[in-house]
Amino acid sequence: MFTEIDILGTGPVVVLLHSSLSSKEQWKGLVKQLSPNFTCANVDLQGYGSMLNADIDYPYTLKCEVERIAALLNNNQLFGPYYVVGHSFGGAVALRFADEFKEQVKALCVFEPVAFHLLVEEAPSRKQVSELAVNMDNVPAYTAASIFTNYWNGEGYFDALPQRIQKRLMAMIDKVAMDFDAIINETKTLLDYSVSISANVLLMTGKQSRTAAKDVVNVIETNLRHVRKVEIDAGHMAPLVRSELVNPVIVDYLHSNSQTT
């Protein structure tokens, strides 16, 4: 049976949030490493994984996703303090979760959160991402999935994928447009987060990542408190394709933070 949240382990609660066009399956290796010492709450975001064919909140916002995650945790008797892990869109959700539940979040581990709403409107990277969203609008699923995956992984990436994976990504691509809308239309500002988020933050980035992702990382590093930045020798999709580099950093950080809180 597929469920929207998998719970495994014992100890402090770690909430894991995946990227767009992915599912909670991306964190299975990390859950295996964490579960001896943490209770892992591995969540499918709306429109992905077990939630692929479920109704999605409309208008879809970061706040409604955060409230849904909080309800899942409460319904499963998983109470704070929370340690939250997020990648890409999941990282943007993680930041919004830490803003909403500031007293309960003790540490964040985010890999290149695509919180483009934290950039000023005239920033070239924000404009580039807005154009990317426009280019994906009103085109066939194959074209939209190709544009999106090639942007983050390099030209020709999508065509090189096995057809079964292409079809799986195409089935989820409509939700990506909603993710973009949720990010760009988010009203929380960098100043809001700088005031509300007091948790320790592990901020990870890839050496080969897009400038747009790095720009968000840089403003977070500069404006949030208690940030430790770590650069990984990989690209934006490192948590999926180079997990052997990413997961040990997260595990070590969570262990050190859980022992001091």
**pLDDT tens-place string over residues 130-178:** 999 999 988 999 999 999 999 999 999 999 999 999 999 999 999 999 9
For residue 259, what pLDDT is reported? 81
Strands 82-87 and 13-17: parallel
Cis, peptide link before residue 239, omega less than 30° from 0: no
Q: Which residues contact 133 (CB under 8 A, 6 or more apart)?
A: 177, 180, 181, 184
Q: Which two tokens stand for residue 199?
A: 């948790």
Strands 39-43 and 200-206: unpaired
For residue 261, pLDDT over 70 is answered with: no
For residue 52, what pLDDT is reported? 85
For residue 23, pLDDT over 80 is answered with: yes
**pLDDT tens-place string over residues 203-252:** 999 999 999 999 999 999 999 999 999 999 999 999 999 999 999 999 99
Q: Which two tokens stand for residue 118?
A: 């934290």
Place of tokens 């894991």: 16
For residue 117, what pLDDT is reported? 95
For residue 30, what pLDDT is reported? 98
pLDDT band of 260, cuts 50, 70, 90: low
In the chain, count of helices (H) and strands (E)?
11, 7
For residue 1, what pLDDT is reported? 45
**What are the phi and psi torsion angles at 83 (to 5°)?**
-115, 120
Task: Quote the pTM value.
Answer: 0.95
For residue 18, pLDDT over 90 is answered with: yes
**pLDDT tens-place string over residues 183-195:** 999 999 999 999 9
Query: What is the spatial distance between Cα 172 and Cα 71, in angstroms, rounded to a whole number?
Result: 24
pLDDT band of 74, cuts 50, 70, 90: very high
pLDDT band of 2, cuts 50, 70, 90: low
For residue 187, what pLDDT is reported? 94
Mean pLDDT in the chain? 94
Q: Which fold has domain 5-117+188-258?
A: Rossmann fold (3.40.50)
Query: What is the spatial distance between Cα 188 and Cα 49, in angstroms, rounded to a whole number?
Result: 27
